[in-house]
Amino acid sequence: MTAVRGTAVDIPTRDGIADAYLVHPDDTDRHPAVLLYMDAFGLRPHLRGMADRLAAAGYTVLAPNVFYRHGRAPVVELPDFIDFAARPEIFQNIIPITQELTPERAMSDAGTYLEWLAACPQATDGPVGITGYCLGAGLALRTAGSYPDRVAAVAGFHGGNLATDAPDSPHTVAGQVTAELYFGHADQDHSLPPEQMERLDKALTEAGVRHRAEVYTGAQHGYTQADTVSYNAEAAERHWEALLELFGRTL
């Protein structure tokens, strides 16, 4: 496996300093840039490990703490293994934080992350790839619609509330997307019921967006996260295959 070099970085934004993790192959070359959007549990050892695996495949990966307005990661204290039933207070602490990350704030930050990557000496010039998990899938889709000239490919996994009835639902940016999209939905995910999957697919199809969505049978919301009770090893490996295939073709 390719050796990688990871480091903590601080990124100045309009609202403060976003702490982030940057990792790239341990060489002097420049590599295609990838923005990795975290799940609701945030930037933590497991997520850094996912960024490392992606970097080992030949990418320069930036994983920001999107909750930086509430402090440096970990914003919420987490156990080594996250079991929602045993620790319900974790969600109680996280939900208010997620609600304060409005689309306007998130997309202001997204522009800053993309500009930072464009200036990063370890990253190649040109459009980036984005992968997002849980709430990060929605952020990834919004970023593709907000910065179409900067994003070549987006993958979203076990994304929640991607196509709600809300006027600012993530799927409403479909008309501005030029990137190729891939979604790996969990079939046991209360945050993305079948009607939302259909609404998302319809919006992207009508907008002429190149996209593919697959439903991972037997997978729960959070199936890629090995430090949680929702982890599904088979689905997680399937996600890696889809992600690396997409980025291999587009980046």
Q: What total number of domains does the chain contain?
A: 1
pLDDT digit string, tens, across residues 21-79 = 999 999 999 999 999 999 999 999 999 999 999 999 999 999 999 999 999 999 998 98
- pLDDT of the residue at 194: 97
Measured at the CA of 240, the angle between CA 8 and CA 73, to 5 degrees, comes to 25
pLDDT digit string, tens, across residues 122-167 = 999 999 999 999 999 999 999 999 999 999 999 999 999 999 999 9
pLDDT digit string, tens, across residues 157-207 = 999 999 999 999 999 999 999 999 999 999 999 999 999 999 999 999 999
The catalytic residue positions are: 134, 189, 221
pTM score > 0.75 for this model? yes
- pLDDT of the residue at 177: 98
Instruction: Encode the chain in three state secondary structure.
Output: CCCEEEEEEEEEECCEEEEEEEEEECCCCCECEEEEECCCCCCCHHHHHHHHHHHHCCCEEEEECCCHHHCCCCCCCCCCCECCCCCCHHHHHHHHHHHHCCHHHHHHHHHHHHHHHHHCCCECCCCEEEEEECHHHHHHHHHHHHCCCCEEEEEEECCCCCCCCCCCCHHHHHHHCCCEEEEEEEEECCCCCHHHHHHHHHHHHHCCCCEEEEEEEEEECCCCCCCECCCCHHHHHHHHHHHHHHHHHHC
pLDDT at 248 over 90: yes
pLDDT digit string, tens, across residues 82-129 = 987 777 888 889 999 999 999 999 999 999 999 999 999 999 999 999
CATH code for the domain of 120:
3.40.50.1820
Which residues form the domain of 90?
4-250
Alpha-carbon distance of 223 to 91, in angstroms, equals 17
Which of the pair, 1 or 58, is modelled with greater confidence? 58
